[in-house]
Amino acid sequence: MAALIRTLGASGFRRFATYRQATVAATVTNSVFGLLRTYVMLAVSAAATATGAAAAGYSGEQLVLYVWAGQGLIGVVMLWGWTDLADRIRSGDVVIDLLRPVDPVFAFLAADLGRALYAVLTRFAVPIVTGALIFDMYLPRRPATYPLFLLSALLATVVSFACRFLANATCYWLLDYRGVGMAWAVFSGLCGGLFFPIRFLPDWAAALLWFGTPGPSLLQAPLDVLTERDGWAVQLGILGIQAAWAVLLLWLCRVVQRRAERRLVVQGG
């Protein structure tokens, strides 16, 4: 089993390591948007400080870390651009996956984790360094934050994978992925904490998003853990919510996958 995970993961890693130009292009793009977002956040922080309050509890330096770590994490949790399953459903190749002795959900997940590892080394590292060179960036002070952040980023990748898998799986029934893909892109950007920190929202709305949707578990969770906005108890609570979403969504993926397989059999594919 462990050997299988390693093999599938390594194939995911290698596949993305061959798209070097794409990695460079994506990193540059993320950095341009990082610059624009940083200035907006710094202006918010300055205006809030002038009235004697911190913006939703973040200092300016914490917001800088929030923005640049967020730009890096886009590539790791991979919010956009994953249509592997939808493509295979449309072309019919998905039937081949069923013949393999590995659960498709598990196989896709292992490959995705390999891809995420490659992204940590490239797409995550570059924006962090860029942001730190240009701006005064907060660096975590509690040693425990680093392993907690790694764990949170891993859980975020799993939650993101499960969401993407479910969105792609709608193709079994709808055949066209574009509408669902667009809804997912908007949802993950707005409710994931990319366009603005979820803490900027009223408390009731933030709570609704944390507990009612997997959104904040995508980016907001690892970013809040990393910026040390809260004490370690809250950090652990955040990890708990993420873990709950990861388990729930992976279970849903398996249920949906089994239903879809039955449907394929009925169609005689």
Partner 1 sequence: MAERLRIYRELVRAQVRGQASYRLSFALDLLGNLLFFGSDLIAVLVVFRQVPALGGFSLRETLVVFGLAATGFALADLAVGNIERMKMYVRTGLLDAVLIRPLGVLGQLLALDVGVRRIGRVVYSMLLLVVALDAADVRLTPVRVLMLVLTPLSAAVFFCAFFVATSTVAFWWVESGELSNSLTYGGRDFTSYPMPVYGTWLRRFFGFALGFGFVSYYPSLVVLGRADPLGAPAWLSWSGPAVAALAATVAWLIWRTGVRHYRSTGS
Binding residues for partner 1, per CB under 8 A? 21-22, 24-26, 28-29, 32-33, 35-36, 39-40, 43-44, 47-48, 51, 55-56, 176, 178-179, 182-183, 185-186, 189-190, 195-196, 200-202
Nearer to partner 1, 47 or 236 (CB): 47
Count of all residues that appear for the chain in the document:
269
CA atoms within 13 A on the CB side of 222: 29
DSSP per-residue letters across 188-232:
HHHHTTSSS-GGGS-HHHHHHHHHH-SGGGTTHHHHHHHHT-S-H
Q: 184: helix, coil or strand? A: helix
> Is the separation of the CB atoms in 228 and 142 below 8 Å?
yes
Supply the minimum distance, in Å, between the C-beta of residue 201 and partner 1: 6
Supply the minimum distance, in Å, between the C-beta of residue 21 and partner 1: 5
Supply the minimum distance, in Å, between the C-beta of residue 195 and partner 1: 4
Supply the minimum distance, in Å, between the C-beta of residue 159 and partner 1: 20
How far is residue 64's CA from residue 137's CA, in Å, rounded to a whole number?
6
Which segments of the chain does DSSP mark as H helices, in order? Answer: 2-17, 20-50, 60-73, 84-91, 94-99, 104-119, 125-134, 145-169, 171-174, 178-191, 203-212, 220-227, 232-267
How far is residue 95's CA from residue 17's CA, in Å, rounded to a whole number?
27
Supply the minimum distance, in Å, between the C-beta of residue 104 and partner 1: 27
Amino acid at 71: Q
Nearer to partner 1, 36 or 265 (CB): 36
Nearer to partner 1, 178 or 259 (CB): 178
Please report where in the chains the tokens 């975590």 appear, as a residue. 140
Supply the minimum distance, in Å, between the C-beta of residue 53 and partner 1: 9
Nearer to partner 1, 32 or 144 (CB): 32
Supply the minimum distance, in Å, between the C-beta of residue 23 and partner 1: 9
Nearer to partner 1, 41 or 65 (CB): 41
Nearer to partner 1, 30 or 242 (CB): 30
Nearer to partner 1, 24 or 265 (CB): 24
Strand partners, 58: 55
